[in-house]
């Protein structure tokens, strides 16, 4: 017999807030010996049918008048790399005798995983609203100090930059997205920080800059879906047997 695990059940996880574990237990009754029992723990991961498409997101930072455009896939693959493209506009402002220019100094990205658990009510307060407890951890992080291109001579001076991000360790204990189950909720987000410095520049000597006049850190956060490639679910095959494999049993919980 084979069956599909219902999608409303939570995935396997082991976190400070919740532990979910699945165990297969089998028992064979023998006529001439004692019954034989066996059990095995197996990992359940939820593969979502999320469509991986490029998405553009624009951020306006009023304190600096800087505008940034972030281009990334909404789906993060746990194995391999995922790319991001960034464009930074409105990086110059005119003065009486020169320009003030924002220059990019460092880019930091973080891939965060959040687990939220709904706590049941105690017997003394059965009618109260259930409370929730959350925990966030970083499953990927890196800082970059070079690799971007400045375009100061175009009609709209800007900075362009692209980078790849992934999990810090391949095969780590990161949990696939799970936000529709009856158990703990697992979500992910990509945080990008841009550290910039403002310099004074003379138009006739753009390569000569003054010490930084100001510094700022711009933060952008986008929710992403951590899941693996979707493969059609088919019943198991049994070697070269011509008999059809059993159909999935209708199991309800």
Is the pTM higher than 0.85? The answer reads no
Topology of the domain comprising 54-226? Immunoglobulin-like (2.60.40)
Beta strand 214-226 with 75-76 is: parallel
Q: Which tens digits make up the pLDDT trace of 104-157?
A: 999 999 999 998 887 777 777 666 677 778 889 899 999 999 999 999 888 889
CA dist 209 → 73, 149, 212 (Å): 37, 17, 8
pLDDT bracket for residue 253 (50, 70, 90):
very low
Domain spans in the chain, listed from the N-terminal domain onward: 54-226
- CA proximity to 174, closest of 140, 223, 224: 140
Q: Which tens digits make up the pLDDT trace of 46-90?
A: 666 656 678 899 999 998 999 999 999 888 888 778 899 999 999
* Contact predicate 220/57, CB 8 Å: yes
CA distance 196 to 101: 10
């Amino acid at each position: 017999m084979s069956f599909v695990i219902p999608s409303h059940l939570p995935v396997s996880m082991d976190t400070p807030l919740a532990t979910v574990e699945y165990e297969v237990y089998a028992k064979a009754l023998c006529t001439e010996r004692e019954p034989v029992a066996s059990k095995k723990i197996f990992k359940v991961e939820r593969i979502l049918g999320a469509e991986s498409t490029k998405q553009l997101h624009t951020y306006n930072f009023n304190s600096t008048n800087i505008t940034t455009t972030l281009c990334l896939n909404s789906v993060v693959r746990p194995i391999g790399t995922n790319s991001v493209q960034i464009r930074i506009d409105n990086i110059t402002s005119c003065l009486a005798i020169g320009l003030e220019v924002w220059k990019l100094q460092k880019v930091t990205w973080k891939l965060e995983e959040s687990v939220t658990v709904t706590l049941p009510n105690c017997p003394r307060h059965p009618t109260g609203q259930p409370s929730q407890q959350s925990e966030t951890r970083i499953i990927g992080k890196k800082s970059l100090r070079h690799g971007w291109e400045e375009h100061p001579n175009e009609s709209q001076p800007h900075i362009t930059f692209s980078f790849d991000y992934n999990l810090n360790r391949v095969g780590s204990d990161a949990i696939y997205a799970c936000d529709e189950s009856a158990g703990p909720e697992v979500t992910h987000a990509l945080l990008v920080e841009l550290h910039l410095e403002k310099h004074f520049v003379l138009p006739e000597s753009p390569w000569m800059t003054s010490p930084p006049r100001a510094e700022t850190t711009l933060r952008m956060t986008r929710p992403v879906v951590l899941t693996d490639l979707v493969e059609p679910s088919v019943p198991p095959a049994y070697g070269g047997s011509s008999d059809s494999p059993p159909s999935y049993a209708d199991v309800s919980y």
